Structure 1
Amino acid sequence: MNHGLVTVAAATPAVHVADVAFNVVACVEETRAAVVHGASVVVLPECCLTAYTCGDLFLQDALLDAAEEGLAGFLDRTADLPCLVFVGLPLRQNGKLHNVAAACCAGELLGVVPKLNIPTYNEFYEGRHFVAGPEACVDAEVCGRTVPFGAHQLFCCPGMPALKVGVEVCEDLWVACPPSVGLARAGATVVCNLSASNALVGKADYRRSLVSGQSARLLCAYAYASSGWGESTQDVVFSGHDLVAENGRILSEGRPFGDGRALAQVDVAFLAEERRRISTWTSAPSPAAAGYREVRLPDAFAGAVAAPAPVTRHVDPHPFVPDDPATRSGRCEDILDIQAHGLAQRMAHTRSATAVVGVSGGLDSTLALLVCARAFDLVGLDRAGIVAVTMPGFGTTDRTHGNARAMADALGCTLLEVPIASAVRQHFSDIGHDEAVRDVTYENSQARERTQILMDLANQRGGLVIGTGDLSELALGWATYNGDHMSMYGVNAGVPKTLVRHLVAHVARTCGDAVLSAVLDDVLDTPVSPELLPAGEDGTIAQRTEDLVGPCELHDFFLYAVLRQAFPPAKVFALACRAFVDQELEAGREPAFDRATVLRWLQTFYHRFFSQQFKRSCLPDGPKVGTVAVSPRGDLRMPSDASAALWVTQAEALEA
């Protein structure tokens, strides 16, 4: 199964100016090298069969004859390759010369796409030689074949409807309304650009922004190949800058003056799904209605891309957490600001000067308390109005209890301790529950007792109960219904567990308070636990959340892939194995999980995600901070009684 993944390459062959025979060989070699690395779509630079810098030699019939003959030779020499290749050349049509991209596949010439925007300014003087081609397709004789000639062409793959490839040439991308806009609206999920963009100071950054921005705006993959070594340096230099982008992100880059190659798997199935999901994406009624001709790719190509293939693209194992420390630090600040401003507005609206927070010494309540402190500072309220309530119970350890108290003191909050053991025992007596039976009733009674205390304290002080539960717990239903599930404002509701850790670590690094920093560091070192079962004889935590419901890393990966990307179980599993197993092995590291472990917890995720929707259907208010959220009023309109059978069956049919 290929999961809608297609490998795309942008490559820059080393050329000789006006030496077509040499350039054909160079183009063939670059194409073969890309195919060896798995490429199904290859884009080569503008006029690569002749070189772009031929100048007035473009007026010579000898060169133009050689270019067309060179195209025929390229087709012959790549007839055994079931890949779609775009090669650039000058081509005469109807008494004029055009700068074109020839679409070649398995020895067939499928169509010719002309450049529409001819630059004649600064160092460019293409208007001296070339004219703009037609948008609408006409039939043309090229290399003894009758093929479509025009900019409005889509190269489509039978058997993979999400793969439609469009082409534009160099300057076409740089104009106010690039042809790729129409191509994407007509269905193109991959856009290829054959370019000869010269090197100037700062131009590479602008080129990256153009390519990544266009891929984001058009919800497409964008492959850009630019001329490089061998082009004339009489007045300008070409750096061979190659890029493959997808939905705003550069997946692969052949950096300027580098090896002249960029290759990456792009996910056309995801791009098609994104276009369906985003209501403001407006597709044309049909390619034909929009004036575009669909050109069918050969069966050899369809068979090659449909064949089972491994996932080779880089898959981020932590989709919510940026790798780059500076980016991560900025992301943490943004999230803390969103949380704090959300809470500050809610307190202002309710005229509350008190926030009541249950603090356990764990990560989630720590983050909630830090957000409260920031919100109070934001609106100029005294932090003494933050009532940090520690409620030791049967499973509370000295470590977490001590950290909760120390953190409240370091932040200048009002600390209140209300032990719950006697109240819970009274409740057990009232309902006839044997305390020795440590089941769900035993655990949830403690969570609900704590919530009752917080609610009553908030009423007593005219304040709000601030929820501490995070996004990952809500997705898995790892919360006691009408216990820690309930609050008056849930500041962590949009923050996944893997990101909670980084937010707390960010405050520890930046708070400028050695005492608070030390407490936060110890909280980060403490195992995640609900602490609802008695501690061990040595006073250590008896329950570890990740032992019970699975590793946070895996579940956050599943959460992103299922909710943000809407991937089916088989694809989620394949990508998770790539992220957590294959990439680790390739890097020479021992994976933390094997495939069987990944599969086990994926199956758990689907069971829990569907069965626990009833808790998410009545969530308290809380701020959305990222692209994934589970609020029933926002991102997730899911019925509580939806059947999980389809997803669970598919997940359970997978093999590790």
Structure 2
Amino acid sequence: MKDGFIKVAAATPQIEVADCIHNTQEIIKKAKEMSAAGARILVFPELCITGYTCHDLFFNETLLQSAKQQLLVLAEELKGTEGLIFVGLPLEYSGKLYNTAAAINRGEILGIIPKHSIPNYGEFYEARYFTSGRDIEGEIKLGDKMVSFGSKVLFECEEMPQLCVAAEICEDVWTPASPGLFHAMAGANVIVNLSASDEIAGKSEYRRDLIKGQSARLLCGYVYATAGNGESTQDLVFGGQNLICENGSLLAEAQLFKNETVYGVLDIQKLRGERRRISTWLEEKGEKHLHISFHLPMEETELYNNFEKNPFVPDCDTERAKRCEEILTIQAMGLKKRMEHTKCKSAVLGISGGLDSTLALLVTARAMDFMGLDRKNITAVTMPCFGTTDRTYTNACELTKRLGAELLEVDIKKAVLQHFEDIGHDYNVHDVTFENAQARERTQVIMDIANQQGGMVIGTGDFSELALGWATYNGDHMSMYGVNGGVPKTMVRHLVRHYADTCQEEKLAEILRDVLDTPVSPELLPPKEGEIAQKTEDLVGPYELHDFFLYYMLRFHFSPSKIYRIAKKTFEGIYTEEEILKWMRKCYWRFFSQQFKRSCLPDGPKVGSVSVSPRGDLRMPSDANVRIWMDEIEKLN
């Protein structure tokens, strides 16, 4: 439960229809297994104590009394079992029969939730037996205690106040205005569903999409347990498709017809953060809901789910290719609109042979194609200076020619040396002045060329560089339209690779692949024996780590300690804990200290869920103090 994580489980026990004693023992066994595995919210199927397919036996007094008695047995047997446990059974209340979910915690039956929506169509005819529990509020006697019986109940954890759980039953989630909707608006961030949904061809896909969609729409965790093998097959077959979803993502799914138990770890902090962030999410105070407390042990939940090393990049090849096409098109369409609006017919950019300028050139070429203009309207300017290597120079020139753009070479060495003389800087002092003078000279050159042509300077800097402030202020930091400003460095690589894989021109693909193999560098220091002397990732750290940190900093606003915890798990065996902390310090320090550069960024398109644009996602003071974040990082040693 530390950092907002909680492990949940959905199980399908092997039941015998109408044998409440057998079924209860199976539930007890499963519950103890799930709790021992660390699950703290445990969900079983609809009517699991009796079985869903009892049909007219639900009218029988013997079955009803046995179900009620076995609920008491179950609660007693689970006194020492940690977790909030939901089981299904039929219960009589005020002379009517209800299909209910019972919530149990540490041996106590906390509440009974009746099903709202009673299906009476197709293969379902529950209205033959059960009454809708909509808007019921009252109490029922179970054993020697009175227990709340009602449709509007929230279960709140004493030890983890952010955790709020509510229940609905099967058909409830298939309705236009499900109980879960109102529970979520009243504060529930975990919805459990006790279900008995039969299998017919194609239904499993629909069901999966339904639960994923419900968790996304309600910004919640959703734990769905459904009936499986053991139910009567007189007319129906049940598959046990247990599902765990979180805000639209599928965390776990049981194989059909296996009666599997599935586990997932929900992040309650993340869900609450999303609700805070999204201004259209409105919570009611839940005055109409009954609030019932439950208890869980305070412990560190094992991180059962995996976190993607590259959260900005889809892991699936097909999805990644689709995403690359979308991003390239968004970038190009953004540039197309800006050029059409300004009546520009030409574009100018610096081409270095590195990743970012390569991507910018590819995007600009696509934009020209969209506008129906000749790629000769692109002027790619190579500006060799003290740090330029033969490899990057050759790639820059060949790439420009292969794409059909105009190549212009402007050697800036003389201009920079003259500038050093003018300001009294020693060429042999390779400090920040030595480096930034080159970057600013390059920017001046392409700006002036654009003025000559009546063209537009296309920015090449990417999202990760902007987040870390790895750009020369009013040097490569500045342009007239920054096409890469929303693209993380880890995604830049995949965009260039995608272009290489799909361009259907072997020589162009060969150049792009060599660009991908070239170390990331601003090439502002003289080469050593012809090789790049200044490698960016040696100085600021691995971009895959920084993009990982930035994703969880900016998308979900996690604390450094939480990001460090998931980074340790994600990069285990790749980076040591000391390395992760080292680069995390660097990331936070640079992110805060370099905000002034982001406060005056050129326009450029947002392409993903995170942006550092001062006009978009990130409104941050340039003089915010990083102290409390750094203090937290230091405590992680």
State the TM-score, normalizing by the size of structure 2.
Answer: 0.99
What is the 5 A alignment of 1:26-175?
Answer: 26-175=26-175
Instruction: Write the distance in 2 (CA, Å) between the matches of 1:155 and 1:137.
Output: 15
In structure 1, distance between residues paired with 2:292 and 2:459: 56
Q: Structure 2: how far apart are the matches of 1:475 and 1:38?
A: 38
Q: Residue deviations 1:18-54, cap 9 Å, x none? A: 0111101111111112112210001100000011001
> Aligned pair 1:354/2:346, yes or no?
yes
Q: What are the Cα deviations for residues 247-272 of structure 1, in whole angstroms up to 9, with x where unaligned?
A: 00001111222352221110011111
The amino acid that maps onto 2:249 is R
Q: Please give the alpha-carbon distance, in whole angstroms, between the structure 1 residues aligned to 2:468 and 2:136.
A: 53
Q: Name the amino acid aligned to 2:245.
A: A
- Counterpart of 2:591 (choices 605, 609, 613) is 609
SS of equivalent to 2:52? coil
TM-score where L is the length of structure 1:
0.96
- Counterpart residue number, 1:557: 548
Distance 1:189 1:36 in 2: 24
- Whether the 8 Å CA contact 1:311–1:574 is kept in 2: the answer is no
Is the contact between residue 220 and residue 246 of structure 1 (CA under 8 Å) also seen in structure 2? yes
- Cα distance in 2, alignment partners of residues 135 and 358 from structure 1: 67
Alignment counterpart, residue 289 of structure 2, candidates 286, 292, 301: 292
Partner of 2:381: 389
Q: Match for residue 620 of structure 2?
A: 638
Question: CA offsets per residue over residues 74-127 of structure 1, 9 Å max, x none?
Answer: 111111012000000011111111000000011000000000100011100101
Structure-2 residue corresponding to 1:584: none
Q: CA RMSD in A?
A: 0.9
Q: Would you say 1:422 and 2:414 are equivalent positions?
A: yes
Shift of 1:470: 0.3
Shift in Å, 1:313:
2.0
CA distance in 1, matches of 2:404, 2:243: 52
- Kindly indicate whether residue 307 of structure 2 is the aligned counterpart of residue 315 of structure 1: yes
Q: How far apart in 1 are the matches of 2:230 and 2:543? A: 51
Find the counterpart in structure 1 of residue 580 from structure 2: 598
Equivalent in the alignment of 1:244: 244
- How far the C-alpha of 1:137 sits from its partner, in A, is 2.6
The offset of 1:594, in angstroms, is: 1.2
Counterpart amino acid of residue 339 in structure 1? Q
Shift of 1:142: 2.2
Please state if 1:189 is matched with 2:180.
no
AA matched with 1:86: F
Paired letter, 1:543:
Q
What is the alpha-carbon distance in structure 2 between the residues aligned to residue 357 and residue 206 of structure 1?
49
Instruction: Name the residue aligned to 1:586.
Output: none
User: Is contact 1:465-1:489 (8 Å) kept?
Assistant: yes
Cα displacement (A) at 1:553:
0.5
Asked if residue 579 in structure 1 is aligned to residue 561 in structure 2, the reply is: no
Name the CA distance, whole Å, in 2 between partners of 1:145 and 1:556. 55
| Secondary structure of the structure 2 residue equivalent to 1:146 | strand
- Mark the runs of 5 or more structure 1 residues left unpaired by the alignment: 582-590
Which of the numbers 477, 481, 485 marks the counterpart of 1:489?
A: 481
Does 2:328 match 1:341? no
Q: Note the C-alpha offset of 1:312.
A: 2.5
Asked if 1 retains the 8 angstrom alpha-carbon contact of 2:229 and 2:259, the reply is no
Match of residue 283 from structure 1: 283
Tell me the residue number matched to 1:588: none
Give deviations 1:544-572, integer Å, cap 9, x for gaps: 11100000100000000000010011101
Partners of 2:17 and 2:231 within 8 A in 1? yes
Matching residue of 1:410: 402
Deviations 1:459-510 (Å, cap 9, x if unpaired)? 0100000000000000000000000000000000000000000000000000
Q: Deviations over 1:144-185 (max 9, x none)?
A: 321111110000011322100000000000011100000000
Give the counterpart of 2:602 among 620, 623, 629. Answer: 620
Q: 1:532 aligns with which of 496, 508, 524?
A: 524
User: Which residue of structure 2 lines up, in the alignment, with residue 541 of structure 1?
Assistant: 532
- Does 2:318 match 1:326? yes
Q: Aligned equivalents of 1:170 and 1:575: distance in 2? A: 34
Residue 136 of structure 1: CA displacement?
Answer: 4.3
Show the counterpart of 2:502: 510
Confirm or deny: 8 A CA contact 2:500 2:513 kept in the other structure: yes
Partners of 1:549 and 1:372 in 2: how far apart? 29
- Give the partner amino acid of 1:186: A
In the alignment, the residues of structure 2 paired with residue 499 and residue 151 of structure 1 have an alpha-carbon distance, to the nearest angstrom, of 47
- d(CA) in 2 for partners of 1:264 and 1:389? 52
What's the secondary structure of 2:420's corresponding residue? helix
The amino acid that maps onto 2:532 is I
Q: In structure 1, give the amino acid aligned to 2:544.
A: E
Q: Could you tell me how far apart the structure 2 residues matched to 1:308 and 1:232 are?
A: 41
Q: How much does 1:143 deviate?
A: 3.2
1 CA distance for matches of 2:135 and 2:426?
Answer: 80
Aligned-pair distance for 1:310?
3.4
Q: Give the Cα–Cα distance (whole angstroms) in 1 for the partners of residues 267 and 631 of structure 2.
A: 24
Distance 1:349 1:136 in 2: 61
Q: Distance in 1 between matches of 2:469 and 2:425?
A: 24
Q: Does 1:436 align with 2:435?
A: no
For residues 353-405 of structure 1, the C-alpha deviation after alignment (integer angstroms, 9 at most, x for no partner) is: 11101010000000000000000000101100000110111111100000000
SS in 2 for 1:3: helix
Is the contact between residue 71 and residue 143 of structure 1 (CA under 8 Å) also seen in structure 2? no
Query: Residues 635, 568 of structure 1: CA spacing in aligned structure 2 closer, same or farther, 3 A cutoff?
Result: same
Secondary structure at the residue paired with 2:571?
helix
Quote the Cα distance in structure 2 between the aligned partners of 1:309 and 1:188: 20
Moved more, 337-346 or 141-150: 141-150
